[in-house]
Amino acid sequence: MSDGWAPRLIACAIGVFLCVLVVETIFGSWIFGSSFGFLNVPRNVVIRHDLREIRPGGGIALYRKDKYGLRGSYGKPSEIDILVVGGSTTNEFYVGEGETWADVMATELRRYSKTLRVANAGVDGHSTVGHIRSFEAWFPEIPGLRPKYVLFYIGINDSQLENREAFDRLEELKTSARFVRYVKNNSALYYLIRLFRGWNRASRANIIHSHSYPPLKPVLATIHVDPQPYTKALNAYANRIKRLDEQTREMGSIPIFVTQQRGGAFVIDGVIQAANPESVRWQAVQRLYNAAMMTACRAVSAICIDLAEKIIFVPEDFSDLLHTTASGSRKIGRFLAAKLKDQIP
């Protein structure tokens, strides 16, 4: 009997292999469609975060990335008007659909009779080094992508760029990891597995790790930061800003650069309240990078928005020292819409 089963098993295995081959050839992107090759860009992601246990009034926050690695309701890539680029403060992993600052900006622009489709290309950990690489390796793989504007909400990650190479890497280095990533990016079956996992996660809300904001204490004075030790890094940052400007214009788009403000320190009733003295120092360092951005931005005649110097945040606008809550994101989105309504047709 075992002799009779062996040929059947072999025939069955060959049949399964041929079926998989046909499915992968037709529905995968090995031959047809966009291939993301070795790119390590999260795609086809659906996650529901339950914020009720960690934030008063919190609910379910839906996080979703499509097959191109973008967030937002923008239609087709060829219909995108504004592509927003940044790190985790743009990606907003724990802020739900419709509540990210990019979504709020799009909604507010409609109030000003500016119907513009906005797509979110934020990637956790990316600095301008990663954004430059995105123009080289990621964005060309998105069919028809030619937005009218590319908005860069950047600076925080660049101020902490040292030893962050892994965060900016879009491609795997090890051969084994590159092979696995290549299969994941092209396989139709893996896409179905990811889709099923997304449905499964969506059916039971994920409880995220606690984002506890540290208690604030009065700080007697501001902290002065000598800019001299940062000169080389600031010049390199300015050069990367100029490179992003070039890449944006090569795409046929107009660049918009926006400065960032960190959490951790606030002026409350005329007194500086901070999580610790280091938070005040980091805000001073951030101002150096913001000034470098604005200088470089004006030099290339891009649209320059100094959000950090104009917007007023309160502690409730941050879930930690860097990332905004939905209330903070609303402030950013509304602020940008008000600034852009007279600068874009």
Instruction: Provide the pLDDT for residue 307.
Output: 98
Per-residue pLDDT of the chain (345 residues), as tens digits, is: 455 676 766 767 676 656 655 544 444 444 444 445 446 788 888 888 887 766 666 678 899 999 999 999 999 999 999 999 999 999 999 999 999 999 999 999 999 999 999 999 999 888 999 899 999 989 999 999 999 999 999 999 999 876 555 545 555 444 554 444 444 444 444 444 443 443 343 333 333 333 566 788 888 666 788 999 999 999 999 999 999 999 999 999 999 999 999 998 998 888 889 988 888 899 999 999 999 999 999 999 999 999 999 999 999 999 888 999 999 999 999 999 999 999 998
Instruction: Provide the pLDDT for residue 23.
Output: 45
Instruction: Provide the pLDDT for residue 15.
Output: 65
Instruction: Provide the pLDDT for residue 211.
Output: 54
Q: What is the pTM of this model?
A: 0.79
Instruction: Provide the pLDDT for residue 298.
Output: 98
pLDDT digits (tens, 9 = 90+) for 128-187: 998 999 999 899 999 999 999 999 999 999 998 765 555 455 554 445 544 444 444 444
Cα-based torsion angle of the residue sequence 92, 336, 328, 106 in order, rounded to the nearest 10 degrees: -60
Instruction: Provide the pLDDT for residue 54.
Output: 63
Instruction: Provide the pLDDT for residue 196.
Output: 41
